[in-house]
Homo-oligomer: A and B are copies of this chain.
Amino acid sequence: MKVRAHCLPLYTGGPSIVVVNEDLAAELDLHPMDRVSVTNPQDPTKCIVAHLNFWYQTEPVLGLFNDTFEKLEIKEGDEVSILPVPKPHSVTHIRDKMNRQVLTEHQVFEIIEDLVANKLTDTEIAAFITSIYIQGSSLDEAYYLTKAIAETGDTFKFDTEIVADKHCSGSVPGNRTTPVVVSTIAALGIMIPKSSSRSITSPAGTADVMEVFCDVTFTKEQILEIVAKTNGCIIWGGGLKIAPADSQLIKVRKPLHADPEELLMSSILSKKYAMGATHVMLDIPLGLETRYRNIGEARLLERSMVQIADRLGMKAGVVITDGDEPIGSGIGPVLEAIDVLKVIKGDTDAPQDLRQKSLLVGGKLLELIGLDKFNGHSSGEDLMASVLDDGRAYDKFKQIIEAQGGDPGVTVKDLEEQLSDTTFDIIATEEGQLYDIQNPVCAKVARIAGAPLNKGCGIYLHKKYGAQITKGDVLATVYCGSPDKERRVKRVLKENKLFFVK
């Protein structure tokens, strides 16, 4: 049935929602929460599957939440087709898994395909995840799942023996090793096409930080060109469709804490497999506020990862790092970009923790690839350091910035000019040794200040773990998007302690 569509100024950040009035629902024999498809008749490839809410209107009308409306590429008042959608066939495969059957490659693919097409409800996805959680997956199933998550999105295939990649399990503010690692490894002639995420719930993702230097949104063809020129790239994965099923699975998995290794590994490895990676290093920060808190958990992950990667024809390794404190001094896109540039250029005031961690993660990745390929350094870290110190990494970083449409001559001063003018300092009121910086409070302050949307906002930590503090010391500077945001940050700081001194 055809009906005019209206855009409602609402979005869910998740499920697609269509609202209709009761007459239209009766005619289509639909009930609240039923599944419908809405298609742009001018371009039938623009089609979404959504869930039905109701709208108190006397006319038979249809409204689309803003995020759903945009996917259809229509204009306000355009005609769309709406149809009830039967339960997809893949729900029977989910029921098979509930019934203790081992799924075939085809069945797993159908489930993931329908997931990506937005045809499954949260309830169905939760049933699938809970079944995997309770019954586990065979290695075959985990392999099928990883492949399906990759292959239902964009995939890359490079004509070279080694394609490197890295991943971090997250939750550490400022932990921006990727630009350093990519520049250094690409400078060694190793291909490292890195797709990164934007922040969702943190003050900055790697893509947000890289965007301070250059574009990060490219088509597949453009990425192939960039990588052909420079051996590396740091782009936003969301600009492509890299493993699009993954974020949908995460949304359901996360609130359940139902993270069996098979699902975690298929989540990480699918993105690497989609990027054509052959060697992958996973950085697992351990800490009180990070995702993983002990070595045992990390080792279990490592075992699954190596096995599934092997089945996919990839080599994988894990490096366990310290996740108790923010890495680097700045939290927020521009502030983190400054840290990154200083480390790559080898500036004397570069944050040493960011440099050390980049050397460690990149070094382990080089060792996984095989140090013999780089005529004999004693360790991967040593090799990383030499490429950073002799300026090759900086040259490569400038090449990548240029290939991604940015200004390779950008200086720290240029970046500092992009910081917000609305600032205030956090002053020490106690004396002693700084022994803890609360990661979650640090992230919250940067976010409320305006990061990541307002790139020049965030928090700069003048003091880190172990520093001797005197009353009146400036502990940090907060860069705020507006006086109103400044007020809100101050309110948050009153209620939450950021620095602990003893």
Contact = CB atoms under 8 A, between A and B. Distances in A.
Interface in A115-151: 121-127, 129-131, 133-135
B124 A255 contact: yes
Interface residues on A, range: 35 or more
A129 B124 CA distance: 11
Contacts of A26: 447-448, 485, 488
Nearest to A8: B10
Contacts of A100: 134
Interface stretch (A54-62, A106-114, A356-364, A389-397): A54-62
Nearest to A52: B13
Contact of A56 (B9, B32, B53, B91): B9
Contacts of A448: 26-27, 29
A251 B32 CA distance: 11
Contact of A27 (B121, B200, B258, B488): B488
Interface string A1-26: 00000001111111000010001001
B447 A29 contact: yes
Interface string A50-84: 00011111000000011000000000000000000
A288 interface: no
A102 interface: no
Given A31-B13, A66-B56, A257-B95, A127 B126 contact: yes
Main SS at interface, chain A = helix
A410 interface: no
A87 interface: yes
A33 interface: yes
A315 interface: no
Contacts of A8: 10
A130 B29 CA distance: 28
A219 interface: no
A381 to B, nearest CB: 37
Contact of A57 (B9, B256, B484): B9
A285 B23 CA distance: 31
A493 interface: no
Contacts of A135: 134
A387 interface: no
A26 B55 CA distance: 28
Nearest to A134: B134
Contacts of A485: 26
Contacts of A301: none
A133 B256 CA distance: 17
A134 B98 contact: yes
Nearest to A51: B12
Contacts of A87: 255
Nearest to A14: B33
Contact of A10 (B55, B122, B256, B444): B55
A79 B448 CA distance: 24
A56 to B, nearest CB: 4
Interface in A436-469: 444, 447-448
A252 interface: yes
Interface string A390-411: 0000000000000000000000
Interface string A243-284: 000000001100111100000000000000000000000000
Contacts of A32: 11-14
A65 B92 CA distance: 33
A300 to B, nearest CB: 16
Contacts of A11: 32, 53-54, 56
Contacts of A251: 33
Contact of A12 (B23, B53, B444): B53
Contacts of A53: 10-13, 65
A379 interface: no
A427 B13 CA distance: 51
Contacts of A124: 126, 255-256
A222 interface: no
A485 B25 CA distance: 12
26 contacts: A10-B19, A11-B32, A11-B56, A12-B33, A12-B53, A13-B54, A14-B33, A26-B448, A27-B488, A29-B447, A29-B448, A31-B200, A33-B251, A87-B255, A95-B256, A98-B130, A98-B134, A98-B256, A98-B258, A122-B123, A124-B126, A124-B255, A127-B256, A130-B131, A130-B134, A134-B134
- Which 10 pairs show the lowest CB-CB distances between chains A and B? A13-B32, A126-B126, A130-B130, A9-B56, A123-B126, A127-B130, A12-B53, A11-B54, A14-B33, A27-B488
